[in-house]
């Protein structure tokens, strides 16, 4: 099965509705020119090859080398224009954080895709915006992506300050430091567990260790039992 190459051009309006071919947009992103999309492409290609060609429609690849801190990226802007024009019927990504790493930008995008009835396929996250639990998980993942970006920035700043003060190189977080589990992460953990997801997958999704996930679930069960006893 053949796919169209990465196209920055906006798809032209067909002469008649009968000629209209829905577009499956495949979006890839890396942050720097030192990175490549080689880790993303194989999974995306395998997924495409497993789909019904008629349901896929025209497959167009969009690829950016840009930060995920904002949505102002050349190829994404072309893709956004096609979404606004109504040419896209599904959007496929390797993982949600490839779309961006700001909670506000991603949540706004999720709402737009849902309003336009555009299917979002995230291979590593298995998110379905058509269900309440799917929307919750998507919003949590958006918050986690933004949180990781903020933590990364704080670590870099702390490292620079420590290095200047000590006159040596420094990196990483303080030994023994445990990141805070957010309320959104707890909600996602409980929702995914209730839907039958495995602990390992839940841990990968919310970017926490399996031990932490077990502790969250244990605490949640304890709270439920306490409320029931009262």
Q: List the chain domain ranges.
A: 17-130, 133-229
In the predicted structure, residue 203 carries a pLDDT above the cut 50: yes
Digit-coded pLDDT (tens) for 120-154:
988 888 777 767 767 777 777 666 655 555 555 45
pTM of the model: 0.61
In order, the DSSP letters of 170-224 are --SPPTT--PPPPHHHHHHHHHHHHTT--HHHHHHHHT--HHHHHHHHHHHHHHH
CA 144 to chain centre: 9
Digit-coded pLDDT (tens) for 64-98:
999 888 888 999 999 999 999 999 999 999 988 89
Domain 17-130: give its CATH architecture.
3-Layer(aba) Sandwich (3.40)
Q: Residue 150: its pLDDT value, please?
A: 53
Catalytic residue list: 31
């Amino acid at each position: 099965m053949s796919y169209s190459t990465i196209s920055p051009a906006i798809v032209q309006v067909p002469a008649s509705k009968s000629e209209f071919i829905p577009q499956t947009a495949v979006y890839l992103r890396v942050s720097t020119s030192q990175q490549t999309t080689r880790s993303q492409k194989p999974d995306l290609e395998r997924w495409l090859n497993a789909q019904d060609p008629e349901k896929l429609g025209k497959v167009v690849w969009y690829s950016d080398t840009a930060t995920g801190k904002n949505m102002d990226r050349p190829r994404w802007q072309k893709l956004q224009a096609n979404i606004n024009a109504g040419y896209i019927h599904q959007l496929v990504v390797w993982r949600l954080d490839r779309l961006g790493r700001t909670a506000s930008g991603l949540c706004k995008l999720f709402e737009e895709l849902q309003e336009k009835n555009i299917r979002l396929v995230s291979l590593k996250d298995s998110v379905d915006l058509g269900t309440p639990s799917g929307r919750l998980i998507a919003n949590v993942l958006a918050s986690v992506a933004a949180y990781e970006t903020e933590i990364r920035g704080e670590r870099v700043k702390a490292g620079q300050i420590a290095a200047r003060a000590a006159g040596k190189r420094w990196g990483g977080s303080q030994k023994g430091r445990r990141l805070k589990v957010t309320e959104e992460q707890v909600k996602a953990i409980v929702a995914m567990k209730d839907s039958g997801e495995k602990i390992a997958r839940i841990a990968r999704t919310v970017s926490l260790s399996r031990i932490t996930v077990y502790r969250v679930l244990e605490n949640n069960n304890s709270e439920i039992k306490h409320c029931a006893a009262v």
